[in-house]
């Protein structure tokens, strides 16, 4: 392990790190930064919330500070691609903290914002451009940006870019960049297609991995409630009523479902907002800012936000609907227990979601502890993979569920808004 000030970074960058409270690197930073500073292509595998932005951002900024001259009009020195608008904004915000007071200019281009405004500021050139692939393609087709002088490429959350179908956009963008260039690819998982992507765009990459794919952060306490689907709204309100001051992120499967759920919570007196694909960028930005500031304390989201929210204060993640892709469960719960804090992830599992839970447990090689309700037979008779310490212990008033379904009494009684509420004690992971 080393301290940041032992890396030989530029004085301006060391000052920025000190000013923002960074003292020593995280494991992924510890491994990736020296390799990147030496100019190697880097393939980094790490779960969300482990500090990947600094892992590629620090060496990138350091090398740009050593490169003389301002970018020419419309040109870019370094390109960072990310799959969602929220993640683009998060990356840019982190980099701007480090480049404050330097000549390095960080710009963003995402959909949902004025393309004419983006054309205008790109006309002056930028050192680091953080972009979503779709909007960048639009700007390239309008000849508003010239990537031929970009000598650095970063693909962040590359596995999600593949999931969202951005591989075709990447095939258009990558050939437009300058050569030779340094390429860094960071991902939370390593599916087969990711190996093909690495082979296509990285040259003799150094691979760094700090946790196995599918592993959640150690400080996340997980639990699952088994219940019938109609009992979910009541159970969610019960959970939210136990700690009304905490920041809670609730995940729904669809845009319509997220909006309906949010409106129902607001009608019941909860301070909630939502973000999903039907919201404008301005609406999404305002909701995230209000959540970050604590103006609202319940944010209902679809997976568009699973890797785009970096708010250390998120205490709880509730999977109201289980994701259809097991990896997304890991990304969702990675929104809590950030920056060394503890967090709690709570899943609500209806009978038709039992197979989704089984896939999640197989990926994570654990049995998620049961908080209430009765686990279905497929999960208790060998359905869970790689159990830790034997069968999951049951929490709460589960009771015996009837065959083929879950205990309908597992929903519990919700405290009414305004009623005295108790704070739920922290529990340690089983």
Domain locations in the chain? 4-209, 220-411
Q: Do the beta carbons of residue 188 and residue 329 sit within 8 Å?
A: no
Query: Which carries the bigger pLDDT value, residue 367 or residue 428?
Result: 367
Average pLDDT over residues 256-272: 96
Instruction: Give pLDDT, residue 149.
Output: 94
Average pLDDT over residues 159-188: 87
Residue 331 has pLDDT above 90, yes or no: no
CATH architecture of 4-209: 3-Layer(aba) Sandwich (3.40)
Residue 214 has pLDDT above 70, yes or no: no
pTM to 2 decimals? 0.68
Output DSSP code: residue 415: P
Cβ count within 10 A of residue 34: 17
Average pLDDT over residues 410-417: 41
List of residues 6+ apart from 239 with CB closer than 8 A? 248, 316, 318, 346
CA distance 426 to 336: 14
Q: Residue 349: phi, psi to the nearest 5?
A: -120, 115
Instruction: Give pLDDT, residue 10.
Output: 81
- Superfamily name and number for 220-411: P-loop containing nucleotide triphosphate hydrolases (3.40.50.300)
Q: Tell me what the pLDDT averaged over the chain comes to.
A: 83
Most trustworthy range by pLDDT among 9-13, 18-22, 338-342, 366-370: 366-370
Which token pair is 204? 């003799």
Average pLDDT over residues 20-29: 85
Instruction: Give pLDDT, residue 85.
Output: 86
- Scored b (16 or more CB within 10 A) or e, 122-153 reads beebbbbbbbbbebbbbbbeeebbbbeebbbb
Residue 401 has pLDDT above 60, yes or no: no
Give the model confidence (pLDDT) of 192-205 as tens digits: 777 788 888 999 99
Give the model confidence (pLDDT) of 351-391 as tens digits: 999 999 999 999 888 999 999 998 887 776 554 443 333 33
Average pLDDT over residues 248-265: 95
Which token pair is 54? 């600094």
Domain 4-209 identical in fold to domain 220-411: yes
Instruction: Give pLDDT, residue 188.
Output: 75
Query: Which carries the bigger pLDDT value, residue 348 or residue 277?
Result: 348
Give the model confidence (pLDDT) of 58-99 as tens digits: 999 999 999 888 999 999 999 999 988 888 998 999 999 999
């Amino acid at each position: 392990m080393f301290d940041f000030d032992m890396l030989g970074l530029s004085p301006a960058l060391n000052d920025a790190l000190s000013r923002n409270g960074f003292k020593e690197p995280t494991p992924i930073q510890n491994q990736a930064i020296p390799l990147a500073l030496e100019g190697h292509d880097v393939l980094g595998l790490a779960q969300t919330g482990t500090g990947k932005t600094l892992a590629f951002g620090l060496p990138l900024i350091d090398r740009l500070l050593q490169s003389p001259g301002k970018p020419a009009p419309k040109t870019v020195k370094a390109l960072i691609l990310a799959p969602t608008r929220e993640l683009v904004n998060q990356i840019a915000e982190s980099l701007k903290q480090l480049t404050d007071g330097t000549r390095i200019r960080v710009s963003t281009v995402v959909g949902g914002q004025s393309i004419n405004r983006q054309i205008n500021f790109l006309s002056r050139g930028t050192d680091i451009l953080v972009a979503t692939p779709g909007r960048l393609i639009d700007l390239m087709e309008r000849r508003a940006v010239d990537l031929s002088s970009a000598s650095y490429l970063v693909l962040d959350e590359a596995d999600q870019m593949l999931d969202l179908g951005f591989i075709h956009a990447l095939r258009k963008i990558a050939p437009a960049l300058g050569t030779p260039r340094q390429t860094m690819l960071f991902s939370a998982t390593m599916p087969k297609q990711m190996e093909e992507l690495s082979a296509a765009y990285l040259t003799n990459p150094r691979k760094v991995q700090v946790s196995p794919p599918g592993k959640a952060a150690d400080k996340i306490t997980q639990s699952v409630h088994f219940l019938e689907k109609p009992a979910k709204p009541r159970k969610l309100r019960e959970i939210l009523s136990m700690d009304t001051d905490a920041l809670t992120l609730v995940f729904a499967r669809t845009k319509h479902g997220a909006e309906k759920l949010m409106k129902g919570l607001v009608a019941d007196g909860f301070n909630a907002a939502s973000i999903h694909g039907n919201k404008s960028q301005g609406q999404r930005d305002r909701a995230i800012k209000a959540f970050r500031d604590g103006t609202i304390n319940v944010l209902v989201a679809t997976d568009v936000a699973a890797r785009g929210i970096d708010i250390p204060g998120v205490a709880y993640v509730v999977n109201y609907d289980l994701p259809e892709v097991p990896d997304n469960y890991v990304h969702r719960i990675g929104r809590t227990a950030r920056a060394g804090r503890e967090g709690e992830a709570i899943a609500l599992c209806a009978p038709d979601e039992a197979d989704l839970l089984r896939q999640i447990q197989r990926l994570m090689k654990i049995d998620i502890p049961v908080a209430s309700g009765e686990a279905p037979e497929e999960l208790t008779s060998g359905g869970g993979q790689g159990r830790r310490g034997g069968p999951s212990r049951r929490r709460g008033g589960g009771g015996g569920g009837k065959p083929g379904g879950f205990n309908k009494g597992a929903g519990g009684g919700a405290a009414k808004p305004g009623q005295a509420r108790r704070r739920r004690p922290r529990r340690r992971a089983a």
